[in-house]
Amino acid sequence: MNKTLKDLQPKESGKIAKVLGAGPTKRRLMDMGVVAGTEIYVEKKAPLGDPIEVKVRGYNLTLRQEDAKNIIME
Amino acid sequence: MAQNITIALAGNPNSGKTTLFNALTGARHSVGNWPGVTVEKKEGKVKYKDHNMIAVDLPGTYSLSPYSLEEMIARNYIVDESPDVVINIVDASNIERNLYLSMQLIELGKPVVLALNMMDMAEKRGYKINVEKLSESLGVPVVPIVATQKKGLKELLDKAVDIALKNIKYSPNQVNYGKDLEKKIEEAIQMLKTKTNISKYNLRWLALKVIEEDEVVMDLLNLKPSIQTQEELAVTGDELLDDYESLIADQRYQYVSSVIQKCIKKPKDAALTTSDKIDKVITNKWLGLPIFAGLMYFVFWFSINVGEIFLDMIDESFGALGEVAEASLEAAGSAEWLISLVVDGIIGGVGAVMTFLPQIAFLFVAISILEDSGYMARVAFIMDRAMRKIGLSGKAFIPMLIGFGCSVPAVMGTRTLEDEKDRLASILVVPFMSCGARAPIYILFAGIFFPQYTSTIVFALYVLGIIVAIFSALLFKKTLFKGEQTPFVMELPPYRFPTLGGTGISVLERVKGYLLRAGTVIFSASILIWFILGFNFTGMVDMEQSIGASIGNFMAPFFKPLGFGSWQAGISLITGLLAKEVVVSSMAVIYGLGEAVGEAAMEGDVMGMAGALKAAGFTGMSALSFMVFSLLYLPCVAVIGVIKKETNSWKWTWFSIVYTTLIAWIVSFVVYQVGSLLGF
């Protein structure tokens, strides 16, 4: 099993190896700079546990756990 | 010599496009700190030196893929309308992601000038940007500006004019996509040279789109997508085999990173910004939800109670105005019907609505502060999980909050939702969010029948609206709009301190809108109401024999089970379709006619209607039921119009009309009957 962004705990960071999936969500993630080779830092989880907030390329982004699952970490 | 130059303003959401647009054109468009404020392109004139320019503010986008309505609007404008120059606003404090769009804009082939906005913020965060080097690396002019302080605008316009008039050479550097991709691009360009209908496009851009298999471009060129759709790629199991779309995005970002490395010094370790610190508390695991609920309650408490301070003042001035008008008309020997029209009809009707202006204005102030500060995006973050439970994205919460101001911009705001089903469901539930125009009805009735609990009752009605919206969304998702979940990938912009100017502009805009309605729709409605309540086909009659009374009587049986089966209530609700505040105008005219305004001088008696309403058979329970019905029944004509426009379908428009009325009837029925059974 590959480690994914979903496995990262708040305050942990890592480098993206690959973004899986298809369709609009993947497209949007790529447009937002979530591509292979990017450093990503997990800021926190939302009060209800989902979505998560990450820091990437110097700004804050929120995405859902199920999409974080498709982001494979190095 | 005057020459028309068209400038398109393009950039990421939240990069300050609208602020720049306002600074350039002197226009006043409200700016919010959440993605997707500009959902339609706006035009404004700019006079600079001896040039007449037209500035076009495009919707903020992260990319130019045919992914959402806004991105298509922006891309189509640049490709089809061929502006003389594209000013690309780049948020310097968030430069890496912003440059990704810049690269795409440059690829489109239209001349681009980069406006490096928020340089002050970038410097504060420790970024050192070498502007000349950046301009050199990209091959496009770069002008640092601070749009909020109108700094650098002259230099920006100078450059834009120079580029547009070809006074300086424009030779942008292209992204190098690496050997394999460049070979494919070359092949595609050769293939495209055989096509005929593409002269207005930049060949390299079109080639890239062909490789990405961009749906719109493929359609244009009559090309079929290749065998490898992304789903098929996933099935092959070869995870390293990537589709070209991602490869292109990867390469573009790599190129951006290399540019950044050359031109920008980043701070060693990113210290916690003030924004981060604020966010730690506001979206905190334990505090996030209570803070949200508390803020919402405070907004209503604030607007109701602070607004009330001014309520009596306005009420009294309209009362006085009525007396003066009556006296002077009598002195001038005017006919009795004219006095009645002016005093009871116009001053009474418009005055009743104006009385609530302060409370509405304070509600606007609160909403505008929430928008400007960046809290709206956090609301989507906090609420996404809950919203998903009802089948909507957290983003759909933002139009709903806007709906507390007015349903019209709220329905338009649903454009930020990518998914069509999501959007439709949101459009259908947004009218249940209690808009500002409904507040006068609650304040009037709750103020008279529940004087001790006015703000609690008003808050409860807002909550009820939300509950009905949630229920409806669930119902729609289970029946009409079955389907998979929609994506939720959203930027959380840094918190900004709302500026007095910014908040002022958007509140002024909205208050102006309210006043304009009071001046036009409500003014005409007041005359109409006065007429239908004073006349029938035989001429001027007593109110009980008027056309209005007949219509009201006809409707009364429909409302009887809800506790307010009088013709007065019926006709008020019907006239409320023009604009919901008109319900109050009608009541003022109806009960004002019987009871001279100001005569029933009870403490806190709004327009002297307390006694009249009680005498007309309203009890606490039926007043509550009436408020509930007013909250939920079909939206005003303006909203119906915008629903038709946004759904582009009469079917859904009628659905909305019938559904809201049905729901209003059922909920009011339950409230009244259960309340009565319990002996209230």
Terminal C-alpha separation, chain B:
78
Both B519 and B614 in one domain: the answer is yes
For residue B560, pLDDT over 90 is answered with: yes
Cα separation, B643 vs B624, whole angstroms? 28
Beta carbons of A32 and B386 less than 8 Å apart: no
CB-based contact B114:B141 (threshold 8 Å): yes
pLDDT of residue B237: 44
Q: Side-chain half-sphere of B279: how many Cα atoms within 13 Å? A: 28
For the domain that residue A12 is a member of, what is the CATH number?
2.30.30.90
pLDDT of residue B365: 82
pLDDT of residue B25: 85
For residue B239, pLDDT over 50 is answered with: no
pLDDT of residue B594: 43
Report, as an integer, the average pLDDT of A4-12.
94
For residue B37, pLDDT over 60 is answered with: no
Both B536 and B639 in one domain: the answer is yes
Report, as an integer, the average pLDDT of B249-270.
87
Higher-pLDDT residue of B140, B533: B140
In angstroms, the Cα distances linking B70 to B33, B81, B204, B413 are: 17, 16, 23, 11
Mean pLDDT of all residues in chain B?
84
pLDDT of residue B607: 52
Cα separation, B668 vs B627, whole angstroms? 9
B83-97, B152-166, B632-646: which range is least confident on average?
B632-646
Burial class of residue B37 in the structure, from the number of CB atoms within 10 Å of its CB (0-12 exposed, 13-18 middle, 19+ buried): buried
Run of H or E including B539: strand B539-540
For residue B673, pLDDT over 60 is answered with: yes
Burial class of residue B179 in the structure, from the number of CB atoms within 10 Å of its CB (0-12 exposed, 13-18 middle, 19+ buried): exposed
Chain B hits for A1, CB-CB cut-off 8 Å, are none
Burial class of residue B614 in the structure, from the number of CB atoms within 10 Å of its CB (0-12 exposed, 13-18 middle, 19+ buried): middle
Chain A hits for B289, CB-CB cut-off 8 Å, are 47-48
For residue B229, pLDDT over 70 is answered with: no
For residue B1, pLDDT over 50 is answered with: no
In angstroms, the Cα distances linking B339 to B320, B326, B331, B522 are: 15, 6, 11, 19
B488 in a structural domain: no
Beta carbons of B254 and A37 less than 8 Å apart: yes
Size of interface A-B (CB pairs under 8 A): 131
Higher-pLDDT residue of B436, A10: A10
Both B247 and B296 in one domain: the answer is no
In chain A, how many domains are there? 1
DSSP B447: H
Higher-pLDDT residue of B37, B286: B286
In chain B, how many domains are there? 3
What is the phi/psi pair of residue B326, to 5°? -60, -45
Cross-strand bridge partners of residue B115: B89, B143
Instruction: Identify the domain boundary among B118, B136, B164.
Output: B164
Beta carbons of B491 and A61 less than 8 Å apart: yes
Chain B hits for A37, CB-CB cut-off 8 Å, are 250, 254
B396 in a structural domain: yes
Cα separation, A16 vs A19, whole angstroms? 8
B149-163, B234-248, B267-281: which range is least confident on average?
B234-248
For residue B442, pLDDT over 50 is answered with: yes
User: Residue B34 — pLDDT band, cuts 50, 70, 90?
Assistant: low
Chain A hits for B66, CB-CB cut-off 8 Å, are none
Cα separation, B380 vs B52, whole angstroms? 41
Chain A hits for B253, CB-CB cut-off 8 Å, are 33, 35, 38
Chain B hits for A13, CB-CB cut-off 8 Å, are none
Higher-pLDDT residue of B6, B372: B6
Chain B: nearest CA to A63, how far in angstroms?
Answer: 5
Q: What is the pLDDT of residues A18-72, one digit of tens each?
A: 888 877 788 889 999 999 899 999 999 999 998 999 999 989 999 999 999 999 9
Instruction: Identify the domain boundary among B111, B137, B164.
Output: B164
| Domain that residue A19 falls in | 5-73
Chain A hits for B96, CB-CB cut-off 8 Å, are 33, 57-58
Of A19, A64, A72, the CB nearest to B488: A64
B282 in a structural domain: no
Chain A hits for B381, CB-CB cut-off 8 Å, are 46, 51, 53, 62
State the best of B253, B390, B397, B489 to mutate against chain A, taking most chain A CBs within 10 Å. Answer: B489
| Domain that residue B108 falls in | 4-164
Distance from the Cα of residue B654 to its chain's centroid: 23
Chain A hits for B250, CB-CB cut-off 8 Å, are 30, 35-37
Distance from the Cα of residue B524 to its chain's centroid: 27
In this prediction, the answer to ipTM > 0.85 reads: yes
- Candidates B642, B635, B668, B669; CA nearest to B436 is B635
Both B337 and B450 in one domain: the answer is yes
Structure tokens at B649: 């379908």
B38-47, B135-144, B178-187, B247-256: which range is least confident on average?
B38-47
Both B512 and B630 in one domain: the answer is yes
User: Residue B515 — pLDDT band, cuts 50, 70, 90?
Assistant: confident
CB-based contact B561:B587 (threshold 8 Å): no
Question: What is residue B455's three-state secondary structure?
Answer: helix
Of A49, A57, A61, the CB nearest to B492: A61
Both B400 and B253 in one domain: the answer is no
Chain A: nearest CA to B68, how far in angstroms?
Answer: 9
Report, as an integer, the average pLDDT of B395-414.
81
Report, as an integer, the average pLDDT of B134-160.
93
B492 in a structural domain: no
State the best of A16, A25, A35 to mutate against chain B, taking most chain B CBs within 10 Å. Answer: A35
Report, as an integer, the average pLDDT of B664-677.
94
CA angle B41, B44, B48 (to 5 degrees): 140
Beta carbons of A58 and B253 less than 8 Å apart: no
Of A30, A36, A46, the CB nearest to B385: A46
Report, as an integer, the average pLDDT of B423-448.
89
B10 in a structural domain: yes
Chain B hits for A18, CB-CB cut-off 8 Å, are 239-240, 242
Both B153 and B184 in one domain: the answer is no
Chain B: nearest CA to A31, how far in angstroms?
Answer: 6
**Which residues have CB under 8 Å from B586's CB, separation 6+?**
B349, B529, B571, B572, B575, B576
Both B431 and B310 in one domain: the answer is yes
Rama region for A12: left / alpha / beta (φ>0; ψ in -120 to 50; rest): beta
Q: What is the pLDDT of residues B64-90, one digit of tens each?
A: 877 677 788 888 888 888 899 999 999
B602 in a structural domain: yes
Report, as an integer, the average pLDDT of B96-123.
92
B37-41, B215-219, B415-419, B561-565: which range is least confident on average?
B37-41
Report, as an integer, the average pLDDT of A8-15.
94
Beta carbons of A58 and B266 less than 8 Å apart: yes
State the best of B69, B248, B375, B385 to mutate against chain A, taking most chain A CBs within 10 Å. Answer: B385
State the best of A5, A28, A29 to mutate against chain B, taking most chain B CBs within 10 Å. Answer: A28
Beta carbons of B489 and A44 less than 8 Å apart: no
Angle subtended by helix axes B179-192 and B203-212, to nearest 10: 110
User: Residue B485 — pLDDT band, cuts 50, 70, 90?
Assistant: low
Peptide bond into B225 cis (omega under 30): no
Beta carbons of B231 and A22 less than 8 Å apart: yes
CB atoms under 10 Å from CB of B567, counted, come to 21
Report, as an integer, the average pLDDT of B247-269.
88
Instruction: Identify the domain boundary among B265, B281, B306.
Output: B265
Higher-pLDDT residue of B214, B431: B431
B171 in a structural domain: no
Q: What is the CA radius of gyration of chain B?
A: 29
Both B504 and B629 in one domain: the answer is yes
Cα separation, B293 vs B289, whole angstroms? 6
Could you write out the DSSP letters of every residue in B109-143? TS-EEEEEE-HHHHHHTT-EE-HHHHHHHHTS-EE
Beta carbons of A47 and B289 less than 8 Å apart: yes
Higher-pLDDT residue of B416, B497: B497
Chain B: nearest CA to A7, how far in angstroms?
Answer: 18
Chain B hits for A63, CB-CB cut-off 8 Å, are 488-490
Chain A: nearest CA to B499, how far in angstroms?
Answer: 22
Chain A: nearest CA to B257, how far in angstroms?
Answer: 10
**Which residues have CB under 8 Å from B427's CB, separation 6+?**
B411, B414, B643, B646, B647, B652, B656
User: What percentage of chain B carries pLDDT values higher than 90?
Assistant: 28
Both B191 and B324 in one domain: the answer is no
Cα separation, B7 vs B118, whole angstroms? 20
Beta carbons of B494 and A60 less than 8 Å apart: yes
Both B93 and B233 in one domain: the answer is no
State the best of A30, A38, A44, A54 to mutate against chain B, taking most chain B CBs within 10 Å. Answer: A30
Run of H or E including B9: strand B4-11
Of A18, A20, A58, the CB nearest to B94: A58
Chain B hits for A52, CB-CB cut-off 8 Å, are none
Chain A: nearest CA to B4, how far in angstroms?
Answer: 34
pLDDT of residue A42: 95
Both B44 and B108 in one domain: the answer is yes
Higher-pLDDT residue of B374, B271: B374
Cα separation, B344 vs B598, whole angstroms? 12
State the best of B71, B125, B236, B246 to mutate against chain A, taking most chain A CBs within 10 Å. Answer: B246
pLDDT of residue B670: 95
Of B240, B386, B488, the CB nearest to A63: B488
User: Residue B479 — pLDDT band, cuts 50, 70, 90?
Assistant: confident
Chain B hits for A42, CB-CB cut-off 8 Å, are none
Q: What is the pLDDT of residues B585-599, one digit of tens each?
A: 888 878 764 444 333
**Which residues have CB under 8 Å from B510's CB, separation 6+?**
B30, B361, B364, B368, B405, B406
Beta carbons of A53 and B283 less than 8 Å apart: yes
pLDDT of residue B600: 37
Burial class of residue B386 in the structure, from the number of CB atoms within 10 Å of its CB (0-12 exposed, 13-18 middle, 19+ buried): middle
B89 in a structural domain: yes
